[in-house]
Amino acid sequence: GAGVSQSPSNKVTEKGKDVELRCDPISGHTALYWYRQSLGQGLEFLIYFQGNSAPDKSGLPSDRFSAERTGGSVSTLTIQRTQQEDSAVYLCASSTQSGDTQYFGPGTRLTVL
């Protein structure tokens, strides 16, 4: 079946602009995660959604970062007023429920000039 998909695959933006990154989880997966992969920080957890529960935002690095999950399916990660340190690969993962195996998408490579 279809895996986790993310769009765009690459995004180049100018410092100060807002960007939106999209994640389509595997159908039927109720848990959704965002991670960031950067050279300096490695792989970091950003945010977690589970069904209709309040998300776990404990990994978001600043208030410029936010995420939504509409209808329990598609998620959008928004970064406002992008900075050069936001340049990274943003990975989305989903699982049938929290604690189960997480399946990762191919990622969105964000470059802030």
What residues line the site for other proteins (CB under 8 A)? 4, 31, 33, 35, 42-45, 48, 50, 56, 59, 91, 93, 95, 98-107
Nearest approach in angstroms of CB 16 to other proteins is 28
Q: What is the residue whose two structure tokens read 């936001």?
A: 86
Q: Quick one: 15 or 101, whose CB is closer to other proteins? A: 101
Nearest approach in angstroms of CB 104 to other proteins is 4
What is the C-alpha separation between 47 and 85, in angstroms, rounded?
A: 18
Token digits of residue 66? 């936010």
Q: Quick one: 45 or 64, whose CB is closer to other proteins? A: 45
Q: Quick one: 11 or 103, whose CB is closer to other proteins? A: 103
Q: Quick one: 93 or 110, whose CB is closer to other proteins? A: 93
Nearest approach in angstroms of CB 28 to other proteins is 17
